[in-house]
Structure 1
Amino acid sequence: MKQLIQNLKTGETLLEEVPAPQVRRGQVLIQTHRSLVSLGTERMLVEFGKANLIAKARQQPDKVKQVLEKIQSDGLRPTLEAVFRKLDQPLPLGYCNVGTVLAVGEGITDLQIGDRVASNGPHAELVCVPRNLVAHVPDGVSDDEAVFTVIGAIGLQSIRLLLPTLGETIVVVGLGLIGLLTAELLRLNGCRVIGLDVDEAKLELARQRGLITLDPASITDPVKAVLSITNNVGADGVLITASARTDELVSQAARMSRKRGRIILVGVVGLNLNRTEFYEKELSFQVSCSYGPGRYDEVYEQQGHDYPLPFVRWTENRNFQTILQLIASGQLNVKPLITEVVPFADYHKIYCTIGQANRSGIASVMCYSESVSLNSTVKLYEAKYGPNAGTVGIIGAGNFTAAILLPALKSAGATIKAIASAGGLSATLLARKYGVSESTSDYGQLINDPDIDLCVITTRHNSHARMTVQALRAGKHVFVEKPLAIHNDEVTQIIEAQQLAGRLVMVGFNRRFSPYSQKMKSLLGGDLSGQIPMNIIATMNAGAIPANSWVHDRAVGGGRILGEACHFVDLITFLTGSRVISVCMNAMGTQPSETSDSASLLLRYENGSIGVINYFANGSKAYAKERIEVYSQERTLILDNFSKLTGFGFKNFSSMSGRQDKGHVEQMKRLILQLRSGKVNPTGEQLIPFSELINTTQTTLAALQSLREKRWIDVSRIEFFQEHE
């Protein structure tokens, strides 16, 4: 199927061939009939993409601050690489979609195949959308009308925040698509509406709908004009649906408001508010969030848990339904807003002029062909793969795959046949960039492909164990990003599958492969280090991530101790040459949860070593992220952020420094070399013994148990009858 994307680096808009998405639990697979181009919103994206790097930075000062902080902590080169990677990730365009249901995921009972629905799906022939972002289209509402559902909900949500009453005077600043829809909804609400815009065509359309109109460019002062219309009382409310880089629109809104008036911002404007203007009138100011309550809430949108109607009357989905009901009843007439209807294949007729100053029109609608490819795999390049060639297939195409794993695999000379992602788009973009021959939305095809020897799994944490077991049962070797598992029963399943398959299981514990870690191991005695007890303190200044991130969800991400602190359990295991026998964990707060990301772990090892892991999310981002301290035999090693190693008490070593290297590339080089040698499981040649991978996973799970039960927890020792083939 085809999907429209935009290159953030150049602003170029492209029609990309991508795999058909796979319907998942709680989602709806839709064949698109129509999608709406919001000329204002999408023009901003195109203009941002075409801007040079300096102009991009000026538009996003908050991002510039983050970049400067990252330079302080990680250095200039890694930071610039991260910035350019981000700009190199094309965006899917569009968010107003109408089509027919082709399939419904598990758990959906109120939609049927063949239903006509509106959703916030992108410009694509097929879209897969969570249930709460899909609304049934009533009979009598055409596709051309229903395509206004989502953007109408944006205007409706701003009105719900404004709380207008019958007879009030409301000013709408900006009469683009959202502005005109908002003005019409206000008129239906019994309000007197004043519309401001500099485009005469939009003003004329507004006048035809019974609005009072003002052109700020043709009058001396729009504030005085509004005051005159309201007998010097001022507007009861102002809705800003325009976009501008200055603070003037907010200032004007404040000056034209009555005392205790309300201002709602829908567009994007400067927000340096003048305190005096707001103080003297006791004005209220609020920013409207997209379609309504539920927006950006993973529990509502992705997991499908609705808010109870008696407590949250208007959710984003109920706003969708309201717009459709108004269209069905004839109260909301959207047909005059359609500037043009263009075939999807001719998208360039819209986008080649979307950023031009003389571009006129309100809304462009793209219509789609009735035939569409349902292939879940796209072949991008021709290639042949021999048996046992160490051929790789990657499941997951997120930021970590793009930023770290794929470059590391390519640097290691890996032969990659396919990349899988749930939606197919991200897999296709990465496959095209790195010369990978296939992309797919069905990871099962990758697992069952006889050409593929190694499955690399980089999906969300709750799928790691399941996919690892599936790949092992299919006879594949497995590299899985940490954590290996997030529940104890998953560990048992992985052990059973690995023992039966006799295949390699490798976890992304890359830090032991860093040249700094390797040097530390050598200085501490190499293989003899397992006989020497030592004290190791590992501190990670992890930095805070939003509380609503999936990483903090115990059922999905498992929490950052399981997902990230495991790195340091493995690193201490590597340096001590021993395994953990017991663990005690304490977390910050009076009632810490299992997903706390500010905690300390105390580890006891078989050889008498003691490890301390301080994983903190409440430190400054300007401070280095990682620090390892080793104390052994009156000697000390300090590793600072995997860029500088300092030794104290060593005869022939004082320091080692260079660019930051956490071992990703070296890990992949060794893994690919081992696969191609055909000696994946000979005694003593495992990159990380399977028993250590299990011990590390058990340790982090036991740490959570320790937090719950407030005591030391023993880590069970498991002997494997088939650690080597």
Structure 2
Amino acid sequence: MKQLVHHFKTGKTVLEDVPIPQLRKGHVLIQTRRSLVSPGTERMLVEFGKASLIAKARQQPDKVKQVFDKIRSDGLLPTLEAVFRKLDQPIPLGYCNVGTVLAVGEDVTDLQIGDRVASNGAHAEVVCVPRNLVAPVPATVTDDDATFTVVGAIALQAVRSLSPSLGETVVVIGLGLIGFLTAELLRLNGCHVIGFDVDEAKNNLAQQRGFATLATHTDPVKAVIAMTNGVGTDGVIMAMSGQCDDVVSQAAQMSRKRGRIVLVGVANLHLNRADFYEKELSFQVSCSYGPGRYDDVYEEQGHDYPLAFVRWTENRNFQAILRFLANGQLDVKPLIRAIVPYQAYQTVYDTIGQRNLPGITSLFQYDESAVFSSAVLLRVATYPAGPATIGVIGAGNFTSSVLLPALQASGATLKSIASANGLSATLLARKFGIGESTTDYRHIINDPSIDLCLITTRHNLHARMTIEALQAGKHVFVEKPLAIYDEDVKQIIEAKQESGRLVMVGFNRRFSPYALKMKALLGGFTSSDVAMNVVITINAGAIPASSWVHDRVVGGGRILGEVCHFVDLTTFLTGCRVASVCMHAMGLQPSETSDSASLLLRYENGSTGAIHYFSNGSKAYAKERIEVYSQERTLILDNFRKLTGYGFRGFSTFSGRQDKGHTEQMKRLIRLIRNGSDAQEVDPLISFADIVNTTRTTLAALRSLRERTWIDIEPVA
């Protein structure tokens, strides 16, 4: 199928060939009939992509500050590489979709194949959308009208945020698509609406629809005060984007005392206290489609909010807009500029920012006779067949920015890559010369020509996919963590023993040249004979509480997902395994997903480890610091950029660019498999017993937090 994406790096908008998305639990697979172009959001994205690098930086000053902080902590080259990788990630366009249900996922019981639905699906021939972002289209509503469901919900939520009462006067600043729909909904609410836009064609359209408007050459504040007999407007809804400090000030000046202002656009704000103080004005930002937006529990997991407590969720807002359309209370036909065949998309984007054009937006029309089978495989490139052929399951940011470049540098043979939505896998396949992309990971697991499955999905899938790959006779490289529950570890051990295949986890830091140098200075692989103290401090930085990483069921929490790296590194340096662990976390009642914690490790040879993992530090400070104390000698590794030794004869410092060992780990792994060493795990690769010990240590750390005691680590049989 084809999907429309925008490339920030080149500024080009293109149709990409991608496999159809994989149907997931709680989701709906939809064949698109129409989709609506959002002239505000999509114009902003397209213009940002076309801007120069300096112009992009000027538009995002907060991101520029983050870049300078990263340069100070990680160095110039790694930072520049990260910036350009970010710009090289295309994004799908569109979020207003109408189509026919092709299939429904598990737990979806109220929709059937063939139903006509509206959703926030992208501009693509087939989309996979969570059930709570899908609404059935009434028979009396045309496809063209139904494409306004999602943008209508955005406008409706802005009106709900303002809470207007019958007879109030409301000024709508910005008569673009959302602004115009906002004005229509305010009128339905019994309000007197005054519209204003710098585009005269939009003002004229508003007048044709019976709205009062402000002339573009007049002072908007004086005009509104005059039109309200000196009282001022009861409310203002700002439905525009860009720099709007002056507009906020104008909105405040035209408001009556205790008036309300709602922002529904995308704007940089610097509020002037004086504008709001004397009138006691209220200011609110309206969030997208309504309650539930950006909440994974609602959107991805399908848990609805009780109607008695949350009357208007985003899905119920969708339904309300569709009822307005069905009853003829909301007329959107005057807003349609053109209906364009999907393949002719460029004609729309060529004029998306132009003013004084009829209508406001365009619709894409799709070929309804197209037939999409269950095929989920797309041939992308040719690849040289050979030993150590790899299939990659997962196509996220870490895969694209770290693992695939490392595999490429190792000379690996990459045959397949899988992602649930198909787009990310296809783009990476083209970039890295991977033979095929797919939305079905089992295609990779069941492919007899693939020797190694590389698993980089969300953490809750690691164990299951590892077991499936082992049972299929594959070697496995799985990104950390290996598993997020004790029972999963036991099942992996059993599958590993039965298959005799290699299992490797992405504990890359022991392969860094700095870690290898530390190991050599400490006595090489005989270091287990000497007890030592290892102290590791990780300035991890905060991740939003809503992130899947913090979900115990999906991500497992950052202790399981990230601290395992440093347990493995300590194990590597000491040369033996953890015997017991104790963990304390910040807060009076810390949870299993706390991400500011300290772990104390006791090793079998008497060594100790102290791992301090903090999320509440400054991002301007270096991220990782490793200290080792042994035999009146000290090693300090600063952020994998500089190693300093004290008390070592003939060694003082070793420095260079940041290197955390990803490429070296891949080189050694590929070399091992090509040499036909099946399960012959020898140094300097990681023994399976070490991997299990590290995994059990982090799981035991969570138990230690619950029980407030030391926990012994179960040995590997």
Q: TM-score range by the shorter chain?
A: over 0.9
Superposed CA RMSD: 1.1
Are 1:654 and 2:665 matched, yes or no?
no
Map 1:385-534; keep pairs closer than 5 Å. Answer: 385-386=385-386, 389-534=387-532
Give the drift of 1:451: 1.4
Deviates more, 1:265-274 or 1:304-313: 265-274
Which residue is 1:542 aligned to? 540
Distance 2:544 2:39 in 1: 31
Distance 1:678 1:215 in 2: 78
Give the drift of 1:270: 3.3
Which residue is 1:83 aligned to? 83
- Please list every run of 5 or more consecutive structure 2 residues that lacks an aligned counterpart in the other structure: none
CA contact (8 A) 1:353 1:359 kept: no
Distance 1:42 1:175 in 2: 16
CA contact (8 A) 2:596 2:614 kept: yes
CA contact (8 A) 1:37 1:363 kept: yes
State the 4+ residue runs in structure 1 displaced beyond 6 angstroms.
none
Distance 1:270 1:556 in 2: 34
Give the drift of 1:62: 1.2
Equivalent residue in structure 2 for 1:291, among 289, 306, 313: 289
Map 1:294-443; keep pairs closer than 5 Å. Answer: 294-356=292-354, 361-370=359-368, 371-374=370-373, 375-386=375-386, 389-443=387-441
Distance 1:298 1:686 in 2: 41
Which residue is 1:723 aligned to? none
CA contact (8 A) 1:551 1:557 kept: yes
**CA offset digits 1:68-103 (Å, max 9, x no partner):** 111121111111111111110001000000001111
| Secondary structure of the corresponding residue to residue 347 of structure 1 | helix
Deviates more, 1:146-155 or 1:236-245: 236-245
- Please list every run of 5 or more consecutive structure 1 residues that lacks an aligned counterpart in the other structure: 720-725
Return the letter of the residue paired with 1:445.
Answer: H
| Secondary structure of the corresponding residue to residue 251 of structure 1 | helix
CA contact (8 A) 1:249 1:269 kept: no
Are 1:229 and 2:236 matched, yes or no?
no
Question: In structure 2, do the counterparts of structure 1 residues 10 and 175 end up closer, same or farther at CA, with 3 Å as the change threshold?
Answer: same
Return the letter of the residue paired with 2:296.
Answer: E
CA contact (8 A) 1:294 1:316 kept: yes
| Secondary structure of the corresponding residue to residue 669 of structure 2 | helix
Which residue is 1:590 aligned to? 588
Using the size of structure 1 for normalisation, the TM-score is 0.97
Give the drift of 1:683: 6.1
Return the letter of the residue paired with 1:88.
Answer: D
| Secondary structure of the corresponding residue to residue 624 of structure 1 | coil
Distance 1:521 1:384 in 2: 37
CA contact (8 A) 2:233 2:255 kept: yes
Distance 1:329 1:352 in 2: 35
**CA offset digits 1:216-266 (Å, max 9, x no partner):** 2x22x1111111110010010001112232411111111111111100011
Give the drift of 1:652: 1.6
Which residue is 1:179 aligned to? 179
Deviates more, 1:469-478 or 1:377-386: 377-386
Give the drift of 1:532: 0.9
CA contact (8 A) 2:417 2:425 kept: yes
Return the letter of the residue paired with 2:165.
Answer: T
Map 1:696-715; keep pairs closer than 5 Å. Answer: 696-715=694-713
Which residue is 2:17 aligned to? 17
Give the drift of 1:686: 6.8
Which residue is 2:198 aligned to? 198
Distance 1:239 1:334 in 2: 20
Distance 1:41 1:541 in 2: 35
Map 1:667-686; keep pairs closer than 5 Å. Answer: 667-682=665-680, 684=682
Which residue is 1:47 aligned to? 47
Which residue is 2:71 aligned to? 71
Distance 2:477 2:280 in 1: 60
**CA offset digits 1:319-364 (Å, max 9, x no partner):** 0000000000111111121110011111111112223456553010
Give the drift of 1:200: 2.8
Give the drift of 1:108: 1.0
Using the size of structure 2 for normalisation, the TM-score is 0.98
Give the drift of 1:499: 0.5
Question: In structure 2, do the counterparts of structure 1 residues 75 and 716 end up closer, same or farther at CA, with 3 Å as the change threshold?
Answer: same
Distance 1:698 1:571 in 2: 15
Give percent identity, aligned residues only. Answer: 71
Return the letter of the residue paired with 1:624.
Answer: A
Deviates more, 1:353-362 or 1:342-351: 353-362
**CA offset digits 1:375-407 (Å, max 9, x no partner):** 311111133524xx1011110000100110011
Distance 2:681 2:252 in 1: 76
Question: In structure 2, do the counterparts of structure 1 residues 105 and 683 end up closer, same or farther at CA, with 3 Å as the change threshold?
Answer: closer
Deviates more, 1:69-78 or 1:369-378: 369-378
CA contact (8 A) 1:680 1:686 kept: no
Q: How many pairs were matched up?
A: 715
| Secondary structure of the corresponding residue to residue 39 of structure 1 | coil
| Secondary structure of the corresponding residue to residue 37 of structure 2 | strand
CA contact (8 A) 1:69 1:622 kept: yes
Which residue is 1:248 aligned to? 246
Deviates more, 1:491-500 or 1:650-659: 650-659
Deviates more, 1:69-78 or 1:141-150: 69-78
| Secondary structure of the corresponding residue to residue 260 of structure 1 | strand
